[in-house]
Amino acid sequence: MGTKDELQIMRKRNMKLFPTYKKLAWDYLFFYTINFLFLTQVKNINPADVVLIDAFYSLFGIMAQIPAAFIVEFFGRKNSIIIANIVNCLYMVIVIFSTNLFNLLTAEIMSSLAFAIKETAEPSLLNESIPKSKSKDKIFAKISEKGASGYYMINAVSTILAGWLYGINPYIPMLLSLVTTITVTIMSMFFIEPVKKRKTNFENISIRSNLKEIETSFKFILKSERLKGLILYTSLIGGLLCTLDTYQVSLLEDLNISSGAIGIIFACLGIVACLATKKQEQFHHKYRNKSLSIIGLLIIISCFISGILAVFSNNIKYLIIGIIFAYIVKYAMSSIYYSLSEKYLRNFANENIDTKIYNVKNLLKSISSAIIGIFASFLLDRLDTAYCMIILGSIFTILIILVTSYMKSRVGLKPEEYSKEERKYDELKETSKI
């Protein structure tokens, strides 16, 4: 990119802006927890259909990966992020004014495209904005952690406000969420593109060429035992977390917890996630290649325990405290998971492969989320949320044991223990990474 001075300006601008941007842009603020209530109480959508909508989001996410790759390749990382945020604004408008299930499904198509672009372009923009050095992975993790912890804190405050404002008028928190997405769109315009575009017209970027690049990425991943393990794990846990986000609110609603109290509970959980995110590097250094195994098992156990306690909470009210404690464990572990998984995936990756790794990861996560979401909707339409969580917890305990066993001899090795093919795109082959 340009001269040395321009490169320094780009790095300084992007590295400084990114954590502030992520604090507001990582996900919708003023939206989660009340979105389930908004759809079921205001829009009169069946709870099982809400879970099904989430599953359709994942299905659309599968199809969105190819256009997302196309958009990032042609428009670059910065412009793609701007486009994605504009689409998110449109998503929020459609949800606010929706009148039926078809409107919501249309909105989910837009949201899935927006996040397919964001989840590919944003970590890549940060990765390419950091100078090559032995400590690049630590710098990446620190900047990403700062943004994530800030998001959790802001989300905690906005969740309390959303729960309170929802009681006044359900549309107020939705409008605040729209205002936030507009603000985020404006912020994204101040990034500087870190990678000079090699392709400048649509003739050079055909659907066929993008399919070819995705095919090349799949071949590289299929050869990489390390990436196969990581992406299999992130697909499984990422898909489960998408479903649990809805199940957790549904469970509290089944227990007759008010919207205001739900807002306060999830705000406190947001603070827990904020504090846990700050400890992700310490967690990594303490548990090393066991980190992901521990995280996965604790998330799944918290799901199982939540369901078990909820079954008996009608007779023993104080068991609700145990459910909240299980939620605390889940939020702490999921916040560390997001930081570490993003960090691990970018290791051994340069500008030629990083967007493609994220793109393939997003594709497989969408497939996993869709399957899990459809199954979760099927369960919720027939059983109470508590029993659904017990069933999911039982199934995923078996699955995570199988996946982590597969990862044991493939992820977390010393750099010299990996093959040349594994480190084909490594910027600094002597750097110690996971």
Q: Which positions ≥6 away from 23 have C-beta within 8 Å?
A: 147, 150, 151, 153, 154
10-residue mean pLDDT series, the chain (434 residues): 77 92 89 80 80 76 81 87 95 88 86 90 88 80 86 85 86 93 95 73 55 69 81 88 84 82 82 84 82 91 92 78 92 87 73 73 81 84 89 91 85 71 63 46
Instruction: Tell me the C-alpha distance between 199 and 359, whole Å.
Output: 19
Contact between 132 and 197 (Cβ < 8 Å): no
Q: Which residue has the tokens 């390749």?
A: 73
Instruction: Tell me the C-alpha distance between 82 and 80, whole Å.
Output: 5
pLDDT at 163 (0 to 100): 79
Helix axes 171-188, 47-97, angle to 10 degrees: 70
Instruction: Tell me the C-alpha distance between 398 and 301, whole Å.
Output: 11
pLDDT at 398 (0 to 100): 92
Helical H runs in 130-206? 136-168, 171-188
Contact between 340 and 121 (Cβ < 8 Å): no
Whole-model pTM? 0.74
Instruction: Tell me the C-alpha distance between 422 and 415, whole Å.
Output: 10
DSSP state of 41: I
CB atoms within 10 A of CB 192: 19
The phi, psi pair for 46, rounded to 5°, reads -60, 140
Q: Which positions ≥6 away from 134 have C-beta within 8 Å?
A: 428, 430, 431, 432
CB atoms within 10 A of CB 350: 15
State CA 324 to chain mean position distance.
22
Instruction: Tell me the C-alpha distance between 116 and 5, whole Å.
Output: 32
Instruction: Tell me the C-alpha distance between 324 and 265, whole Å.
Output: 8
pLDDT at 432 (0 to 100): 45
